[in-house]
Amino acid sequence: MKTKNILSTVALLGLLFPSVSFNSPAMAQSLRSLLPSSSYSARVGFVPPRENGSPSNTRSAASRYLCQGAAIVPEDGLVLTTKEKPSLYMYVNEGFAEKAMLVVESSAGEEYTEVVSFSKEGGVVTFDMPTEAPMLQVGEQYNWTFILMCDGTIRPDSPVMRGEIKRVAPILTADQSESMPLAQQAEVYAEAGIWEDMLSAMAMIRAANPADSTVWVHALQSVGFEENIAEAPLLVQ
């Protein structure tokens, strides 16, 4: 659904929470030790891009009633992607929320929303771009906002997380993307600081083998996420 003023309404309701600080050590050692040694030689983990997100970005928030969420993004909230229609990921704690809203705002101020439903068991929820949102353009930066609907509605204390997403030029050819193992793709994107492509590759690896979440867990812990979030299951929607 395309809207014009939803974020203004959210701001007036006092939904936006102050940022939560996390440490962000390099991811290199985690991925270096976990990926197959025969696949390639360069092993540098996630390298944050030089451009930083807005100081007002928040990747974690909670309500007064223990309803909590955390956007699975770098510490500064800036997500790089090579995709026209990328995905975003959010952790939701167990037992409180069954819905969340994603709002994507273009540089022209156009807003697009998508509401996703999920179980109350807690875990990581995948958000595709809103259906009516246009394809992301290379070089353009967009604002994203997650609103956790703790009782199925938006209210003044609803947890809110926000940041930016920017599309960059592809670094792999179509042939490389088809032939290169997902683990190797994750490392390539990590080196380039392209978070969304890296995380999506890791999500596919984890979905194919839910019992082995080692690479995913180490990746999230290395950018400051605590164990309960890093080890949370990927929710099937």
> Looking at the domain assignment, is residue 101 inside a domain?
yes
Left, alpha or beta for 134 (phi > 0: left; psi -120 to 50: alpha)? beta
Within 8 A by CB and 6+ apart from 173, the residues are: none
> Looking at the domain assignment, is residue 234 inside a domain?
no
Mean pLDDT throughout 129-136? Answer: 93
- For 11-56, give the DSSP string: HHTT-PPPP-------SHHHHHHHS-TTT-S--------SS---TT
The owner of tokens 């976990």 is 34
> Looking at the domain assignment, is residue 47 inside a domain?
yes
pLDDT in tens, 14-24: 333 333 332 33
Contact 112/133 with Cβ under 8 angstroms? yes
> Looking at the domain assignment, is residue 233 inside a domain?
no
Full residue range of the structural domain in which residue 64 is found = 2-225
pLDDT in tens, 71-102: 999 888 899 999 999 999 999 888 878 889 99
Please tell me the least confidently modeled range out of 44-53, 61-70, 139-148, 165-174. 44-53
pLDDT for res 168: 97
Contact 117/148 with Cβ under 8 angstroms? no
Question: Which pTM was predicted?
Answer: 0.75
> Looking at the domain assignment, is residue 237 inside a domain?
no
Q: Quote helix, strand, coil % in the chain, to nearest 5.
A: 25, 25, 50
> Looking at the domain assignment, is residue 73 inside a domain?
yes
Domain CATH for 199 = 2.60.40.10
Question: What span, in angstroms and rounded, lies between the C-alpha atoms of 110 and 73?
Answer: 23
pLDDT for res 119: 82
Contact 142/102 with Cβ under 8 angstroms? no
Contact 65/27 with Cβ under 8 angstroms? no
pLDDT in tens, 193-237: 999 999 999 999 998 888 888 888 888 888 888 888 999 999 866
The owner of tokens 């992607």 is 81
What would the two tokens of residue 72 be? 């699975």
pLDDT in tens, 43-78: 335 566 666 655 455 655 555 557 888 999 988 889
What would the two tokens of residue 38 be? 């025969």
| Number of separate domains in the chain | 1
> Looking at the domain assignment, is residue 236 inside a domain?
no
